[in-house]
Amino acid sequence: MARKGTIERNKAVERKIAVFAAKRAKLRAKIRDKTLAPDERFEAQVRLAALPRDSSKTRYCNRCLATGRVRAYYRRFQASRIILRELASRGMLPGVTKASW
């Protein structure tokens, strides 16, 4: 089980991403716009760099809903491999069976 502090920090990052998403998108569009003057585009780069680091999407990591584990995460089930195996063995995931031969 992951520490509660790391799980809460990840939730805070998720909230910060939502708050700054529109601002980041607008600045990125300015940076990519080739019709703008180079100094305007550079100013947009500086403003983007000045935004909080945790407001970037790449700072968020997917975590297992049950354990908070980061590694071996399956997006389809929002669970780690360990929890996925337990749930599949119990028959709690529709359409998923544990192979045995």
User: pLDDT-derived band of residue 63, with 50, 70 and 90 as boundaries?
Assistant: very high
Q: Which residues contact 17 (CB under 8 A, 6 or more apart)?
A: 54, 55, 56, 57, 59, 60
User: pLDDT-derived band of residue 12, with 50, 70 and 90 as boundaries?
Assistant: very high
User: pLDDT-derived band of residue 31, with 50, 70 and 90 as boundaries?
Assistant: very high
**What pLDDT does residue 97 have?**
79
Percent of the chain with pLDDT over 90: 73
68/6 Cα distance (integer angstroms): 9
